């Protein structure tokens, strides 16, 4: 099973081999925990029941995540949240346990290749990243019907609104990683982090979630009788800004291979689509003016939108063919509307104002898109309170000398 199939099948029943996954919401990577012996390294330092609980829940996450026949996103998320309340205690300075235990994780793309880092903040970062990726997978599932063979695609308003909520939630997890977790990792560990945990990739994925959320809001506006052209143009322009920010974050990475290359191709495709929508709605508003320059500028917008749509279809194909191979859903919502209206409007207005284009050649300049303050923000996230078992005043730990503890650790190293 390829990377994309692994990522998008987390939380689903196992699909038949050979099925190419459909992507509406891009999930850059999925990292899952690998086996590590927390009980041995924590023996004698925290109560046995606390060490057992940490190990048990972590192993539960590992088993659910790797068994795609029975795994479910809500079950995984619940286990991860429970684990977080225990993990928070390991990050507290007063316990001196931050760099004692080596935590192992692996990327589903890499198969058995593991990353091990002896830092509890790395474990916290990995857990939050996994929660964000699972939320993106859930958002993707919301937009894909059970019968994926359908040639016509319709997504209900409720599904679109639920998807926006999930995207904001995922963005919130990732924003918290950047603002409140990475700062606790020393530079030497930051430099060794897997690529999908680098600050630029985390920021890019957070911005991507906001961009796709704005794009879906535009789809909701299209179906609303109360949404004005100005609202639609604003949402389209905001999506362009979010995708531009995402491109900027990804462009800072010099290694365009694997999922990073696939991620970049996805954003380039979506950026072209968003820009086409923005120019289309900008052109309609400009065309309401009475001056010849307004009509000429409007035609320039419509022609630009048409060219951008053509380029976006090429970009979509490049994204799908890049490893791991994926497929995109049939056009629905905004893009279904634009695929029909943009060529029609460009042809009609070019013919209508052809004489102006010939007379006013100096005015044939594509106008800049207006800039707006961005509306969507990552959902606020705060870590849960540490589990009550971290109340050290109630601890009853059997005595173990430092020599005995170090001996246990040495035995563990020899057996690893």
Task: Report the C-alpha gap between 280 and 184 in whole angstroms.
Answer: 45
* Confidence label for 370 from pLDDT (cuts 50, 70 and 90): very high
pLDDT at 416 exceeding the cut of 90: no
CA distance 237 to 25: 19
Residue 167 burial (CB count, 10 A): 28
- Whether residue 298 is predicted with pLDDT greater than 70 in this model: the reply is yes
Give the pLDDT confidence of 43-72 residue by residue, as tens digits.
888 888 899 999 999 999 998 887 654 347
Phi, psi of 43 (to 5 degrees): -60, 125
pTM of the model: 0.89
Q: Which residue has the tokens 């190293």?
A: 413
- Residue 69: predicted pLDDT: 43
The encoded tokens of residue 200 equal 């630029």
Q: What is the pLDDT of residues 176-230, one digit of tens each?
A: 999 999 999 999 999 999 989 999 999 999 999 999 999 999 999 999 999 999 9
Contact status, residue 4 vs residue 21, Cβ threshold 8 Å: yes
Q: Is the pLDDT of residue 6 over 90?
A: no
Mean pLDDT of the 245-251 span: 93
pLDDT at 205: 97
Mean pLDDT of the chain: 86
Residue 402 has pLDDT above 70, yes or no: no
Report the SS3 class of residue 22.
strand
Half-sphere exposure of 180 (CA within 13 A, CB side): 14
pLDDT for 42: 86
249 or 407: whose pLDDT is higher?
Answer: 249
Lowest average pLDDT, out of 23-32, 124-133, 304-313, goes to 23-32
Residue of 117, 11, 97 whose CA lies nearest to 54: 97
What would the pLDDT profile of 330-365 be if each residue is shown by its tens digit?
Answer: 888 899 999 999 999 999 998 998 787 777 666 678
Residue 157 tokens, joined: 């308003």
Query: Which H/E stretch holds residue 103?
Result: strand 103-107
pLDDT band at 151 (very low <50, low <70, confident <90, very high): low
- Count Cα atoms within 13 angstroms, Cβ side, for 230: 2
26 with 201: CB under 8 angstroms? Answer: no
Interval 151-179 mean pLDDT: 93
Q: Are 162 and 193 in contact (CB under 8 A)?
A: no
402, two tokens = 């430092």
* 166 has a pLDDT exceeding 60: yes
Q: How confident is the model at residue 15 (pLDDT cuts 50, 70, 90)?
A: very low
- Token digits of residue 124: 């916290």
Q: Is the pLDDT confidence value at 35 over 50?
A: yes
What is d(CA 19, CA 224) in angstroms, rounded to the nearest whole number? Answer: 36
Task: Check: CB of residue 195 under 8 Å from CB of residue 201.
Answer: yes
Q: 121-138, pLDDT tens digit by residue?
A: 999 999 999 999 999 999
Distance CA 42, CA 86 (A): 13
């Amino acid at each position: 099973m390829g990377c994309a199939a692994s990522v998008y099948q987390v939380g689903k029943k196992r699909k038949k081999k050979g099925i190419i996954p459909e992507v509406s919401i891009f999930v850059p990577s999925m990292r899952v925990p690998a086996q590590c012996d927390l009980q041995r390294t924590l023996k004698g330092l925290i109560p046995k029941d606390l060490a057992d609980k940490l190990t048990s829940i972590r192993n539960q996450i590992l088993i659910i995540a790797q068994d795609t026949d029975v795994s479910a996103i809500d079950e995984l998320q619940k286990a991860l949240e429970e684990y977080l309340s225990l993990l928070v205690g390991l990050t507290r300075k007063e316990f001196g346990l931050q760099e004692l235990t080596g935590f192992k994780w692996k990327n589903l793309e890499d198969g058995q290749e593991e990353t091990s880092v002896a830092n509890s903040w790395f474990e916290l970062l990995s857990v939050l990243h996994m929660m964000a990726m699972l939320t993106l997978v859930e958002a993707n599932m919301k937009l894909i019907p059970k019968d994926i063979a359908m040639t016509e695609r319709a997504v209900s308003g409720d599904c679109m609104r639920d998807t926006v909520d999930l995207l904001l939630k995922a963005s919130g997890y990732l924003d918290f990683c950047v603002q409140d977790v990475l700062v606790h990792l020393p530079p030497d560990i930051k430099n060794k982090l897997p690529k999908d945990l680098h600050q630029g990739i985390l920021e890019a994925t957070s911005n991507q979630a906001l961009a796709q959320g704005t794009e879906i809001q535009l789809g909701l506006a299209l179906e609303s009788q109360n949404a004005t052209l100005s609202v639609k143009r604003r949402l389209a322009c905001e999506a362009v800004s979010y995708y531009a920010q995402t491109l900027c974050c990804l462009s800072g990475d010099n290694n365009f291979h694997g999922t990073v290359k696939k991620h970049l191709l996805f954003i380039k495709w979506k950026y072209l689509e968003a820009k086409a929508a923005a120019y289309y709605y900008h052109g309609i508003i400009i065309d309401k003016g009475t001056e010849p320059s307004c009509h000429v500028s409007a035609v320039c917008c419509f022609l630009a939108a048409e060219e951008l749509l053509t380029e976006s279809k090429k970009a979509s194909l490049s994204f799908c063919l890049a490893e791991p191979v994926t497929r995109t859903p049939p056009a629905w919502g905004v893009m279904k509307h634009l695929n029909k209206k943009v060529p029609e409007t460009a042809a009609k207005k070019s013919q209508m104002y052809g004489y102006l284009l010939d007379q006013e050649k100096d005015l044939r300049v594509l106008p800049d898109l207006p800039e707006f303050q961005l509306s969507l923000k990552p959902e606020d996230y705060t870590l849960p309170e540490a589990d009550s078992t971290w109340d050290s005043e109630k601890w009853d730990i059997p005595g173990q000398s430092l020599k005995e503890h170090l001996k246990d650790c040495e035995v563990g190293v020899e057996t690893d």
